[in-house]
Amino acid sequence: MTETEMSSCSLSDPRPVARSFQAIPQHGGVGAVIRRSIGRFELKYFDPFLFLDEFSVSAPAGFPDHPHRGFETVTYMLEGAITHEDFAGHEGTIATGDLQWMTAGRGIVHSEMPAAQGVQKGIQLWINLSSKHKMIEPRYQEISSKDIAEAEKNGIKVRVIAGEALGIKSPIYTTTPTMYLDFTLKPESHLLQPIPESWNAFIYVLEGNGVEAWNKSSKPLRFILGGGEPLGEPVVQFGPFVMNTQEEIDQTINDFETCVNGFENAKQWRSQVAIALGL
């Protein structure tokens, strides 16, 4: 967030909570369990956010080879580890507290599978890209847990994944202006966090009870605070493809099926996990 955007924030004009609901478990990927909040019928699209999933997965379940186009995925691990592999040769593992910010842009085919025994847990946020950025080249920004910016003050601890909080800035570049903050509040602590007036924002509670960012309980309160600048553009989505028009979706499906226009590597590629599992 820039200084100009910060200057447009007001702590004297707090925002009321417009809606509150519980994310219900459902199946996702192959055998995985997800709790989807943004992207379900109560909140189909929250510009610029497409999906917010808290996932829980144990091998051999996971998210084997699948494509994306037109948006970004942000994967933040809460417990365990996930191995990522894509058709351009990028591969790696993110473990507890690690972050992967993937810009799918014009096209990615990848897999995301458990890298350890037991249950792997994390959060994945899908952020829409504007029409001028939907066909940019794919890129990754990855930060290990020890390198994520942190600050602590007056009983409030924050991990600054994107944006700024408590005077600390994240190095993550957000194509769509976004904040993504992991807060933990000790009992009786109170948070005031500026958010640009024009942005949409959400809180996703991980531990404890509360949505006012005022922990009046006797236990710690941990939550994700996310915010983003609305794009104000048409959204047409077909599974893992997000574009602005039906014609663009039809073209994307054709590009993927014929392995052209960003999907050239998909013709011969299968992840090592898919090969091992016979998928």
Please tell me the predicted confidence (pLDDT) of residue 1: 42
More confident residue, 160 or 211: 160
The mean pLDDT of 211-227, rounded to a whole number, is 79
- The residue type of 269 is W
CA dist 187 and 278 (Å) reads 50
Q: What is the mean pLDDT of residues 156-174?
A: 96
Find all residues with CB under 8 Å of 103, minimum gap 6, and list them.
Answer: 72, 129, 136, 138, 139, 140, 175
The 10s digit of each residue's pLDDT in 106-122 is: 999 999 999 989 999 99
Measured from the Cβ of residue 44, the count of other Cβ atoms closer than 10 Å reads 11
Write out pLDDT tens, residues 54-86.
Answer: 999 999 999 999 999 999 999 999 999 999 999
What pTM was computed for the model?
0.91
Following CA atoms 251, 256, 259, 265 in sequence, which dihedral angle do they give, to the nearest 10 degrees? 130
pLDDT given at position 210: 54
DSSP codes, 59-115? TT-BEEEEEEBSEEEEEEEEESEEEEEETTS-EEEEETT-EEEEE-TT-EEEEEEE-
Question: Rounded CA gap, 230 and 168, in Å?
Answer: 24
pLDDT single digits (tens) 39-56: 988 899 999 999 999 999
Please enumerate in sequence order all residues whose Cβ is within 8 A of that of 169, keeping only pairs 6 or more positions apart, or say none. 149, 160, 163
- Residue 166: both structure tokens together: 């408590």
Q: Are strands 168-169 and 178-185 parallel, antiparallel or unpaired?
A: unpaired
> Which of left, alpha, beta for 278 (phi over 0: left; psi -120 to 50: alpha)?
left
Above 80 in pLDDT, residue 4? no
Q: What is the mean pLDDT of the chain?
A: 91
| Closest C-alpha to 148, from 199, 112, 100, 102 | 100
State how far the Cα of 195 lies from the Cα of 227, in Å rounded to an integer. 7
R_g of the chain computed on alpha carbons? 19
CA angle (101, 105, 80) in 5-degree steps: 25
Helix ranges (H only) for the chain are 3-7, 246-258, 272-277
Report the SS3 class of residue 258: helix
What type of residue is 50? L
Mean pLDDT of 86-103: 96
